[in-house]
Amino acid sequence: MGPKMSHASTNLPSLTNPGASASLASEYQLGRNWARILRGRAPLLQDPITFHYIDELLWDLVPHSELSDRRLELIVVDNPTFNAFAVPGGIIGVHSGLITAAGSEDELASVLAHEIAHLSQRHYAQRIEEERRNRPMMLAGVLASILIASANPEGGAAALSGTIGAQAQAQLNFSRRNEEEADRIGMQTLVAANRDPRAMPQMFSRLQRNYRFYGQRPPEFLLTHPVTEARIADSLNRAEALPPVTPRSPSIDFDLIKTRMEAHLSKQPSQILQRFLADSHDKEDAKSDYGVLVAAMRINDLDQARKALEQLPRNWRQHVYVQLTEIELLLAEKNFAKAEQQSEQMMSLYPGSYPVKKIRASVLYHAGKPAQAANVYKSIIQRHPSDVDSWYQLAEAEGLAGNILGVHEARIQYFLLTGNIDSAMQQVTFAKRERNLQATDIARLEQLKAEILEIRRQLQEDF
């Protein structure tokens, strides 16, 4: 599923302050370029099912928020820590560990609502503008140090100390006023979306209780979004004063995704498989059977995985996420014919579904049909142009299909999205050496070269 990157902790606080005058256009550009650097430094979760779930949850909230610029980009970092962050220009990030920390879907939604509120109130914009006027290198130093810390926490701390000092470290945290405002507006968003506003203080309290698992270091979210008992109590009081919501119909989506992430993030997959097996025997619940399925697949115990799949009740077997998991199992079993058949059926039922397309493309690639896989990846990229993994896989598929120019162009986009500007420019050079290029090909490559140079200029200016 693409290149491996460092799995070090990514401590990515939001950079915010009220009363901004910075333009939305410059914030958007800043955020997108910040994301380029992040993608090149941090491990991204390569699980289209989980990404789709969080993205759907985010967009369930956005229409009910005060966010005016809704050009959002979700980034899911493959990291077991409990963290979320917001960055200028509509970047919202979630660590995969936050899913396993949440006790319910509404608790997970409450963190997203909180981050949306930080964006809608533009809590960072005034500080960015002030620091650009007074100390132009401040923002660059802060962002660079954060990203250094994502790969090497000690190095990041040294950079903070050496380049911007202790005062800058303090500015990484939201102010008390920012946090109270994000709590209040975030809970209003939850109510408008028909979600329980009490889930927000419940989630903060849950994260706070996890202190004992971290020794002297609390979860990253609490470092960048300080939580006190008084704040939790105040949030509960605010929640009680809000209009009541109508409870939603029970959904198994959250249980599926949380179980999936528990298996994925476990450092001891054999042990978590035994835990799910014991729970399945004692409780006889579908969640535990699904846990056995995904945990057994992780250690390649495919017979155990198949058995667990067949034990799932009918309503679970019919769920789109479980059907996609079954196709993943067929791929692991190298049953490409059946995987291709079932993924084709899923495409006809869910033609626009992101995870269905991603798994269909993977099936076609592994079934020895790279040209067809490339077409599906191109379709995915049309709607998700920042999907790093799809650009990487497209380059691989184009290579096997013999479309060398297509390989170069996909790699250019991959390198641009991961902030690797020199490699992107090198790919343009390689592409222009290919034989039999048409005038349109050369014009397209020249346009890509101009885009690369402009992005390089922006990165040099901002970072």
* Catalytic positions, written as ranges: 115, 183
Token pair 């120019």 is found at: 405
Q: Quick one: 117 exposed, middle or buried, by C-beta within 10 A (0-12, 13-18, 19+)?
A: buried
In the beta sheet, which residues pair with residue 75? Answer: 93
Q: Any idea which residue has 């939603």 for tokens?
A: 248
CA angle 161, 152, 118 (to 5 degrees): 75
Mapped onto helix, strand or coil, the DSSP state of residue 90 is coil
Percent of residues in the chain assigned helix, strand, coil, to nearest 5? 70, 5, 25
- Residue 44's DSSP bridge partners are 77
In angstroms, the CA 102 to CA 95 distance is: 12
- Token look-up 């059977």 returns 289
- The one-character DSSP state at 214 is S
Please name the residues in contact with 142: beta carbons below 8 A apart, sequence gap of 6 or more. Answer: 15, 164, 168, 171, 172
Instruction: Give CA–CA dist 50/96, Å, rounded.
Output: 9
CB 377, CB 405: distance < 8 Å: no
The strand pairing partners of 87, in sequence order, are 91
Q: What are phi and psi of 67, to 5 degrees?
A: -70, 125
DSSP 381-415: HHH-TT-HHHHHHHHHHHHHHT-HHHHHHHHHHHH
Evaluate whether 106 touches 61 at the Cβ level (below 8 Å): no
Cβ(74)–Cβ(54) below 8 Å: yes
CB < 8 Å & 24+ apart, contacts of 449-457: 449/425, 451/416, 452/412, 452/416, 452/421, 452/424, 452/425, 452/428, 455/33, 455/36, 455/416, 455/421, 456/421
Write out the DSSP string of 7-60.
-----------SS--S-HHHHHHHHHHHHHHHHHHSPBP--HHHHHHHHHHHHH
